[in-house]
Amino acid sequence: MLGALAFVLLLRSSADGLDFQRVLRPVVSTPGPGPYYDEYFSGNVTVLLGTEATLNCRVKQASGITVSWLRVADVPKLLSVGAYLYTMDNRVQVEHKSQSSDWTLTLRNTTHSDTGVYDCQVGTTPPLDRYIHLTVVEPDTEILGGPEIFIDQRSTINLTCVIEHSPQPPDFIFWEHNSKVINYDSDRGGISVVTTKGRTTVSQLLIRHARPPDSGRYTCRPASSRPAAVSVHVLKGGQRPEAMHTGGSSHLRSTSPLLMVLVALLLLVPTLHVALEPPLADRRWVKVR
């Protein structure tokens, strides 16, 4: 009955401007007699954590028939019947305009717990069900090479921030140095940012001719995503990372396997010594004058 699946971007306006929702929608199936769903406009929805989710259900040939929304669970939870709400959750809103085939369920300030299946049910006998999957996602943000990065003085600091698993690219990305937003036009000069947006967004911060004051904590802070941070250490000529106390924890992680091997060898030495010694009866005694 269902055709191939297609990705559609549903553009909707909000008080804050334009917002996007990525919707997985199947192509419309051939309608039969009586009410039927327009599946193209009744598809699954993926939204960012904390944003608004709009689940649309388009029902054709349903004049005078009640449409309800339910949250599918072990015990289904009734959310609305017609235009009336049956939930105490004030984040939920249902809308149906006169002469329209659309029944819209809106959830504001979405949380991870809102992820699940919602049923747009037509009150026929037996009832018709259209199951719509809502997925609330939180993008992953990572600065490659962290958490400790060591840079030689007068070289170029190149920090790469990767944002994945986002329904749409972030509207903006701020870079911070020691909790202050970096000014790319500062008197220091040599600072630039290159950002490539897509299903995976990559932002590169470049700081040329690194010097000790450039050391510190750098944060990549995308819109609608958790920030990521790394500590950068600019090494003076001849200085080695091992000599820096600020990087002690990372060096401890790198050397701890070696310490474990040494401890294991030390524990084996007495055993090997005993195993190599001949039995007491086989030993030859030499009198020392």
pLDDT at position 187 is 85
Which residue(s) pair with 142 in the sheet?
162
pLDDT at position 206 is 95
Token pair recorded at residue 254:
């790198």
Residue ranges of the chain with per-residue pLDDT less than 50: 1-20, 22, 26-28, 245-289
pLDDT at position 272 is 37
Token pair recorded at residue 114:
């809102």
The identity of residue 148, as a single letter, is E
CA dist., res. 38 & res. 57, Å (int): 8
Exposed (0-12), middle (13-18) or buried (19+): which is 48, by Cβ within 10 Å?
buried
CA dist., res. 186 & res. 284, Å (int): 84
CA dist., res. 265 & res. 269, Å (int): 6
